[in-house]
Amino acid sequence: MSRTIARRDFLKCALASAVVIPALSPADAMAADLPLLDPTDSVAQSLGFVRDASKVDASANPTFKPGQYCGVCTQYQGKASDAAAGCSIYAGHSVPSRGWCTAFVQRS
């Protein structure tokens, strides 16, 4: 006896799976697996990356404004309250929320 699956039932299952599967592997767990970006990394150095935005040399980085830090940047892939998260600029690495680099773009 063969059973056919109705298109509507298939779509319901697919939609439910699309909602449930990301919840099983939260972004926080993925960011925890990423190594913290080393400030001596060549890309980090070229973008003036610092782990603590309060230590940015404003004279060497004229685009820096007080209040800018990774946690409020659009590139930051976590919440501002997270200690560290992934960054779309530094693939394969996490950055501290309080860090900063010249690729900063204010999250709206």
Other Cβ atoms less than 10 A from the Cβ of 68: the count is 18
What is the tally of structural domains in the chain? 1
105 occurs within a structural domain: no
14 occurs within a structural domain: no
> How many Å is the Cα radius of gyration of the chain?
20
56 occurs within a structural domain: yes
**What confidence tens digit (pLDDT) does each residue in 2-31 have?**
677 677 776 665 665 555 555 544 554 455
Please tell me the distance from the alpha carbon of residue 69 to that of residue 95, in angstroms, as a whole number.
10
103 occurs within a structural domain: no
Token pair for 58: 């404003």
Write out the residue range of the structural domain in which residue 45 sits. 27-96
Q: What is the CATH number of the domain that holds 35?
A: 4.10.490.10
**What confidence tens digit (pLDDT) does each residue in 70-103 have?**
999 999 999 999 999 999 999 999 999 999 999 9
Predicted confidence at residue 25, as pLDDT, reads 46
20 occurs within a structural domain: no
